[in-house]
Amino acid sequence: MESYNIYVFGIIWLAAFLLTRLGLSKMFKLAGINPVLAWIPILNWWFWIKLVGRPSWYMIGIVIPGVNILFSYNIKLDILRSFGKNKFWEQFAGIVLTFIYFPYLVFDKTLKFQGSAGSKEWRDKNIVKVKAAREWSDALLFAAYVAGGMRALFFDLYQIPTPSMESNLMVGDYLVVSRTNIGMRIPMTPITVPVLAPKEILGIKAYSELIELPYMRLPGWYKIKNNDVIVFNWPADEGFPTDKKDNYVKRCIAIPGDSVLIKKGIVYINGKQLPTVNKQQKRYLVLLKEYISQEFLLEHELGDFTIPYRVAPEILNASKKNGELLIPYHIYTWPANIKAIKDDSRVAQIFEDVIDEGYERHLFPDTLNTVYLKHHWDLNNYGPFYLPKRGERIKLTKDNWDWFKAAINVYEKANITHDNGKFYSSNKTEIKDYTFKLGYYWMMGDNRFNSSDSRYWGYVPEDHVLGKPLFTFFSIKKVIGINDIGEPLIHGNNMMYDSKGIRWNKIFKKIE
């Protein structure tokens, strides 16, 4: 993905660099080092390492991305100790808010060099045992700085919470997500609870909007392609800053500049059929001789099931066997798995079910329109539509306004109005076309009939894209809970899953 607002990032980085070096140059001078050296990028690290007494090989760790977070913590703590800053609040400010605390030290008339705190001899002589509470505070500060820095800048961990990507990604899978290969997105709300950076804790906001940065993305070395699995912030999660919206993982079906059509469940990109990936699931109506069980689901690699919205009368009539009415369920699996399910003694009959009655009433863009069911699309027959590219200029018409208005007014906040076939900018000037500031992506789950995806809530703007999953590092085998009458256990809008061991075959498995 291309960089965005890189010049804004450069200005912020330069300001933080200059502010930090104000205090660093004073400390260099007090330690007998030429203060000019504090202002020279990279070289100043070498003299900083020498000032605190760390070994020369520390320079290697400082220049390796990711690893440098650990090494920078150490040399920041060392230099604070070297100048007598031993209180917890001093070390917290100097490590986390370096660009604020270091320039503050310029005005500290008591600042004095007390020795190279990074050397073992100095630490053995000067560091005294502290109380347990302080030990815990120091440990938490270290964990928050290192783990939070890694998560915010390089890698993230993501747990699959829903069955929308089954059977390729299962509920209980834990993914390692790279933020850097597609281009690192700079955190927009940097003041947050560290490490996990949740949006809420016990219903209370876990971040501050005191500082909100604009969307900035550094250059990446990988461009998102059709069928890539992507983690992103859910656009429909209203009321939160972009980087605090819920994280979703889906397959990127279409990228900016693509024309898309879904016809009879088949996706066409720019007129060509999009290849299916691995175990793309379909929906089946299965008639069982008994209530469905977790054992049945586990045996056939089924994470969950649903109760059919309706069952065709001819199927209900065919379901009678020896005068007994069989029990209908919807299951979701890939075609090659159906043979084993058919051979199960508990199964009477099974049908592929592509009927979409009742599901089409909440699809995008009708979800944003005042005219109910204007487009008459459904899960299997959707479009055609076009995804704009960043910088692309498109003529606005009454026919495409329904489709583009969310991008223009919700995500890009252009405040364009439509009245009697004409379009007006925020200053009431009539306009004919619009240049998009962002590119847009289309995300769908591999479990097509059991996935809340772009068909429901629309395209994903590029500023919502978080990263690309690399592999599954751990996986807990989970299966949905079932009540006494064979219904899935659901609390609110969340399915209730039980853990049934570990999926050893998915550990360190590459994402396809």
pTM above 0.95, yes or no: no
One pLDDT digit (tens) per residue for the chain, 512 residues: 889 999 999 999 999 999 999 999 999 999 999 999 999 999 999 999 999 999 999 999 999 988 899 999 999 999 999 999 999 999 999 999 999 999 999 999 999 999 999 998 998 898 878 888 888 888 888 888 888 888 878 888 899 988 899 988 999 999 999 999 999 999 999 888 876 677 888 888 889 999 999 999 999 999 999 999 999 999 999 889 999 999 999 999 999 999 999 998 899 999 999 998 888 899 999 999 899 999 999 999 998 898 887 666 666 666 565 556 788 899 999 999 999 999 999 998 898 887 776 554 578 998 776 555 577 788 889 999 999 999 999 999 999 999 999 999 999 999 999 998 899 999 999 999 999 999 999 999 999 888 999 999 999 999 999 999 999 999 999 999 998 888 898 887 788 999 999 999 999 999 98
| pLDDT at 314 (0 to 100) | 60
Phi and psi dihedrals of 48, rounded to 5?
A: -65, -45
Q: Backbone dihedral region of 51: left (phi > 0), alpha (psi from -120 to 50 degrees) or beta?
A: alpha
Do 33 and 47 touch, CB atoms closer than 8 A? Answer: yes
- CA-based R_g, the chain, Å: 28
Beta bridge partners of 351: 285
Cα 92 to Cα 442: distance, rounded to the nearest angstrom: 42
Phi and psi dihedrals of 384, rounded to 5?
A: -80, 160
Cα 59 to Cα 68: distance, rounded to the nearest angstrom: 9
Q: Is the dihedral of CA 340, 345, 351, 356 positive or negative?
A: negative
**Could you tell me which CATH number the domain at 154-184+220-363+378-389+440-512 has?**
2.10.109.10
Do 459 and 407 touch, CB atoms closer than 8 A? Answer: yes
- Domain residue limits, the chain: 6-153, 154-184+220-363+378-389+440-512
| pLDDT at 277 (0 to 100) | 85
Angle between helices 88-96 and 98-105 (to 10 degrees): 120
Do 231 and 469 touch, CB atoms closer than 8 A? Answer: yes
Look up residue 36 and give its two tokens: 């000019």
**Exposed / middle / buried, residue 26 (Cβ in 10 Å: 0-12, 13-18, 19+):** buried
Cα 182 to Cα 465: distance, rounded to the nearest angstrom: 9
Phi and psi dihedrals of 104, rounded to 5?
A: -60, -35
Instruction: Write out 183-226 in H/E/C secondary structure.
Output: CCECCCCCCECCCCCCCEECCEECECCCCCCCCCECCCCCCCCC
Do 232 and 464 touch, CB atoms closer than 8 A? Answer: yes
Phi and psi dihedrals of 225, rounded to 5?
A: -115, 165
Look up residue 294 and give its two tokens: 């977790």
Cα–chain center distance at 384: 28
Q: What are the distances in angstroms from CA 430 to CA 409, 417, 420?
A: 16, 9, 12
Name the DSSP class of 13: H
Q: Give the position of tokens 């097509």.
A: 448
C-beta neighbour count of 227 within 10 angstroms: 17
Mark 278-294 as b/e (b = at least 16 C-beta within 10 Å): ebbbbbbbbbbeeebee
Beta bridge partners of 478: 499
Cα 260 to Cα 377: distance, rounded to the nearest angstrom: 13
Residue 32 exposure: Cα atoms within 13 Å on the Cβ side: 7
Cβ within 8 Å of residue 97, ≥6 positions away? none
Look up residue 129 and give its two tokens: 């045992």
Q: What are the distances in angstroms from CA 147 to CA 68, 140, 232, 254, 422?
A: 12, 10, 20, 33, 52
| pLDDT at 227 (0 to 100) | 96
Closest CA to 39 of 48, 50, 49: 48
Beta bridge partners of 228: 252
Q: Give the position of tokens 């459904």.
A: 378
Cα 368 to Cα 377: distance, rounded to the nearest angstrom: 14
| pLDDT at 317 (0 to 100) | 66
Q: What are the distances in angstroms from CA 218 to CA 6, 154, 201, 483?
A: 6, 12, 30, 49
**DSSP conformation letters of 356-411:** -TTTGGG-TTGGG-SSTTSS---SSSEEEEE-PPTT-EEE--TTTHHHHHIIIIII
